[in-house]
Structure 1
C-alpha cells in the first residue's frame, strides 16, 4: 500500500481527483473515493524552456492549490501515477509517493 500526495490548482481539483479515483486510488476496505485535502498556497517560478499552465517565465507565481492525499494499492500505483501525469494541468506536477508499512 502507498500514500499519494499531490498538489492540485483549485480549478482542477475535482477532475484530477476523479481521474485518480477512476484509476484505482482512494480505496480503503469497502469504501471508495477516500482522500484527505487541505487548501494552501503553492509557489513556483517557471524557468527558460518551461511551458507553464499558470504564470510566466522568470516570474514568481503564487497559486491557490489543494494538497490531496489518498491511498493506492501496490498493484495500482503505476497506473495511478501515469493517470496523474495525464490529468494534472501542470507541465510537471508536484507529488510524492510513500510506502505504507503495515
Structure 2
C-alpha cells in the first residue's frame, strides 16, 4: 500500500540468481509497497498483493580486481542462470524504499536493477 499520495506508477526490474529469488521477493513484499494492485474505482481497496513477473535467462560478468564477488572469481568470466523479476511500485518515495530493501536482500555486491516510470492510459 502506498505510504504517500503519489500514485505515479513505476516498474522495478531486477536480476537475481535462483537461489536468492525467494529471499529478495519476501523482503520486498514485506514492505507492502510493491506488487500491490488496488481497485480502479477505490484506491484503498486492495485486490491483489505479491504480484510480479519472473523470467529465467543467462547473465554474465567478470568480477574486477577490487570486487568481493558472492558468485564467481575475480578476473574470470562467470556465466550463470538468473531470474528477471518485474513488479509495480506506486510513488517515487516508495520505489526508493523498495530499492534500498532490494539492495540489502540481494546477494550481489552491486545488484543489477532498473526502474521505469510507467504511463497510465
Query: TM class, shorter-chain normalised?
Result: over 0.9
SS of 1:7's equivalent in the other structure is strand
C-alpha RMSD of matched pairs (Å): 0.8
Partners of 2:86 and 2:36 lie apart in 1 by: 12
Q: Name the structure 2 match of 1:10.
A: 18
After TM superposition, which residue ranges in structure 1, 4 or more long, deviate above 3 angstroms? none
Number of equivalences:
102
TM-score (norm 1): 0.96
Partners of 1:99 and 1:32 lie apart in 2 by: 20
SS of 1:20's equivalent in the other structure is helix
Q: Name the structure 2 match of 1:77.
A: 95
- 1:8-40, Cα deviation, whole Å (9 max, x unpaired): 101000110111111221111210000000111
User: Rg larger in 1 or in 2?
Assistant: 2
Partners of 2:105 and 2:71 lie apart in 1 by: 16
**Structure with greater helix share of residues:** 1
- Summarize the alignment of residues 45-60 of structure 1 with structure 2, pairs less than 5 Å apart: 45-60=62-77
TM-score (norm 2): 0.82
Partners of 1:60 and 1:28 lie apart in 2 by: 40
